[in-house]
Structure 1
Amino acid sequence: MKNVKQRIGKLITLFTLLAVTTIITQVNAKQVKASQAELTDIKILMVVSGYGQGAEPAGEQSKEKANGKTLIKREERPGYEFDEFAKAYSVFKENGIAIDIASPNGGKVEADKFDPNKPYNAKVLADKTIMAQLNNTIGTSVLDANDYDAVFVVGGKGAMFDLPNDTALQKLIAQIYQNQGIVSAVCHGPAAFVNVKLDDGSYLVANKAINSFTNEEEMLFGKKWLSKFEFLLEDKLVEHGAKFQSSQIMLSHVAIDDRLITGQNPTSTVAVANALVKHLGMTPVKADMDIEDKTLAVVAKFLSGDTAALNVLTSALSGSDDQAEQTPGQYHLPLVGMYGFYFHKNAKTTREFEQSLALMSAAQKAINNPRLDMEIAKILAKLGQTTKAKATLQQLLAGNPDFKPAQDMLKAL
């Protein structure tokens, strides 16, 4: 009988231990879930310019007379960059972060022209929730900085017009930063920071590493609106004490100074968004680079001295050039040639001319454009490679016998 009681006692003890263990396991599981839930409570404010509008007759209008009738014509104005918005939003969404979208006046905002068929754009355009937010953005004047852990300002030429003078946005950014939040922007997005002052009266950007769309990039790619800007962004940031840094044109560059994160151009967008996620204490979900960013990353390696990088581009391509351009995970070879074309416009050293020549030559067949062939011939001549320059012109004329610029240059050589 005694043995039976002892066995029953042991069983009761065992069941008690099992029950306690189960309870502890459940509590730990709940704690883990609670911790994960806390991460999803993080909220980012994405800010876009509301300045943009196309040429259709609506919004700001001017009157013109034609055939005795008054015509209404709307002035075209630049907006925000949808590519940058789409890439950054996708990063935040994939990491489970809540997002609000704001613009200076609220309501519907208009992006600059963009390609809706690009995978990252198509994905966002199909997201009814975020598109509804873009069609009804929150005005900056009604926002509370205490609701946000970070702010991300999207670029686009429009940012140069309405963001720098939005006092409500300035106060919002300053308060988020002083609340120990993170302040970030890409391309022309840092225009929102130029006039932001902290409580001590200092500029937010003073004595901080920062970058943005550079003066050099403006001269190459921003001529349409350049004369209408009140200032050049790089110059204004430096004027207000920023320690400006940058990379070569259109290559990814992220400047991080504690809780201030900025990216140079559209190619920098994903890197800025991922840096923001990291500073929020999270490990960013790994995602494949889109074909353009991946291609320009290889170009960056080549320009930094990795001469074999171009071989990666050409050897990785298979099938037709059109197929290579559109295959996810592959490279965009024509983009390499176009990059070389613009890179050589600001080339100053022999090495830079040689690099631009290599980039254009790598994509010469894929682009098959007389203008590119002419530039290649000019660089060859500049570098003293006359024989190769003549051969390039002769090959150009074989397919375009009436192309006068090539005829004239060949005679001059």
Structure 2
Amino acid sequence: MCSCHAILNNHQYRIYSFHIYFTSRVVCSTHQSNDEVSIMRIFITFLVALSALVGTAFAGQKAPGKVLMVVSSYGVDQGETQPGFEFDELAKAYLVFAANGLSIDIASPKGGAVEADKYNPEKAYNAQFLADPDAVNKLNNTLNLSAVKSQHYNAIFVVGGKGAMFDFHNNQALQMLVADIYQRNGIVSAVCHGPAALVNVKLANGDYLVSGKRVNGFTNEEEKAFGKKWAPKFEFMLESKLIERGASFEKAPMMLKHVAVDGNLVTGQNPFSTAATAIEVVKAMGIKPVAMKPFKDDATIELAAQMLTDVKPAAAELAAHTERYQPELIAMYGYYRMMFAASKSDLQQAVNLMEVGRLYMDNPQLIIALAQGYQKLDDVASAKQRLTELLQRNPKFEPAQTLLAKLEQSKQ
């Protein structure tokens, strides 16, 4: 129970106790004058009224606000047949809102049960969501957007996932909800592919909601890296469409955290921006966010971002507090940065990340990628060193043998 509720309960109990005491004094005393009795009765009447007032105040205590979370109905077969929503994003945002005392509903274009893309239920935030019967019930019985009343909500948060690119942008009910909440000075927010819900929303004056606004979302670069299966089926690329609608599109480097805040419009770039986006929503609602331990993957990506500018202190932090992070995620991020590196500087950053990550995992393919990175940097000696070390552990690993032989030949 929060402190304000405890205080109100305590005051109500004390008033009730005084009421009993003075009533007994009036009833039991045989030595009081009529004037004394009248004064006591007036005082008792006052206490009864005050008790009722405090009781009403206590009963009227409400959550600091109500948020509508929206997920895609498009998913089929855990995203194999048709993409759905990102469970990680739903769980992270839900936990942030719940921790800050918000009342939460979950809705979807079709209502009822919805299908997430394949996810890991053992991740801490997913496990915490799944352990909450109320949260699971809301997800299994989502509200139909066509039946939702905008006036019941202080904020709307649109969850991402590639399904959002199929059933959000042309959903009239969703567009009306977003416009109504925004024009009532409520908070409109979305993360990753969630801003697809905003691209066709127009305000009462006929302008697109995003026109002239600072906006964020899954970038074209991120789509190129991670959207190969479904992106060819999209009607548009999210970044391009938001810019076409007049938005001032902001972005961080691929898969790093970024949140754009423009008045009561809050948008996040990718899954690692989810918690930060939800926290900004809480702030926009006039609530001071409670302190929360960062989710481990978010903290890891934040550390990777630090490594791009100064690898040594960030690597030292990882070594000192490994339990707070996912080192393999740093290696993976380095691999993807190398794949899409546009300069020698990008390549060097990617190699630095993989060098840090390799200390915490034994993955031969990572070493091959690292050697290839060194090769592209014309650092053949370092490439050969990593391959030689790998072959000492795995003498018959053919990819390492082949690449090492190629490097030896190029030297001749």
TM category (shorter chain) comes to 0.7 to 0.9
Counterpart of 2:61 in structure 1 is 37
The aligned amino acid for 1:84 is E
- Asked if structure 2 preserves the Cα contact closer than 8 Å seen for 1:299 and 1:310, the reply is no
Counterpart of 1:355 in structure 2 is 349
Residue of structure 2 aligned with 1:153, choices 155, 158, 166? 158
- Shift of residue 397 of structure 1? 1.9
Deviations 1:102-124 (A, max 9, x none): 11111111111111111211111
Counterpart of 1:341 in structure 2 is 335
* Alpha-carbon distance in 1 for matches of 2:395, 2:122: 37
Residue of structure 2 aligned with 1:126, choices 120, 131, 156? 131
% identity of equivalent residues: 48
Counterpart of 1:376 in structure 2 is 370
Residue of structure 1 aligned with 2:396, choices 387, 394, 402? 402
Kindly tell me: are residues 367 and 410 of structure 1, through their superposed partners in 2, closer, same or farther at Cα, counting changes over 3 Å?
A: same
Residue of structure 1 aligned with 2:71, choices 40, 48, 58? 48
* Alpha-carbon distance in 2 for matches of 1:84, 1:55: 15
* Alpha-carbon distance in 1 for matches of 2:334, 2:285: 37
Is 1:89 the equivalent of 2:105?
no
- Asked if structure 1 preserves the Cα contact closer than 8 Å seen for 2:78 and 2:118, the reply is no
- Shift of residue 288 of structure 1? 0.4
SS at match of 2:73: coil
Normalized against structure 2, the TM-score is what?
0.83
The aligned amino acid for 2:61 is A
* Alpha-carbon distance in 1 for matches of 2:343, 2:188: 37
- Shift of residue 163 of structure 1? 0.7
SS at match of 2:77: coil
* Alpha-carbon distance in 2 for matches of 1:365, 1:36: 56
Counterpart of 2:262 in structure 1 is 257
Alignment of 1:104-143 (within 5 A): 104-143=109-148
More helix by share: 2
Residue of structure 2 aligned with 1:387, choices 365, 374, 381? 381
Kindly tell me: are residues 307 and 399 of structure 1, through their superposed partners in 2, closer, same or farther at Cα, counting changes over 3 Å?
A: closer
The aligned amino acid for 1:387 is A
Deviations 1:177-234 (A, max 9, x none): 0011110011111010011111111111111101111111111111121111111111
Normalized against structure 1, the TM-score is what?
0.82
- Asked if structure 1 preserves the Cα contact closer than 8 Å seen for 2:78 and 2:116, the reply is no
Kindly tell me: are residues 280 and 34 of structure 1, through their superposed partners in 2, closer, same or farther at Cα, counting changes over 3 Å?
A: farther
* Alpha-carbon distance in 1 for matches of 2:357, 2:251: 26
* Alpha-carbon distance in 1 for matches of 2:331, 2:315: 11
SS at match of 2:367: helix
- Asked if structure 2 preserves the Cα contact closer than 8 Å seen for 1:207 and 1:242, the reply is yes
The aligned amino acid for 1:365 is L
Moved more, 272-281 or 41-50: 41-50
- Asked if structure 1 preserves the Cα contact closer than 8 Å seen for 2:78 and 2:84, the reply is no
* Alpha-carbon distance in 2 for matches of 1:125, 1:386: 49
- Shift of residue 411 of structure 1? 2.4
- Asked if structure 2 preserves the Cα contact closer than 8 Å seen for 1:314 and 1:333, the reply is no
Q: Which runs of 5+ in 1 are unaligned?
A: 1-11, 57-74, 318-323, 325-329
SS at match of 2:275: helix
Counterpart of 2:107 in structure 1 is 102
Is 1:290 the equivalent of 2:295?
yes
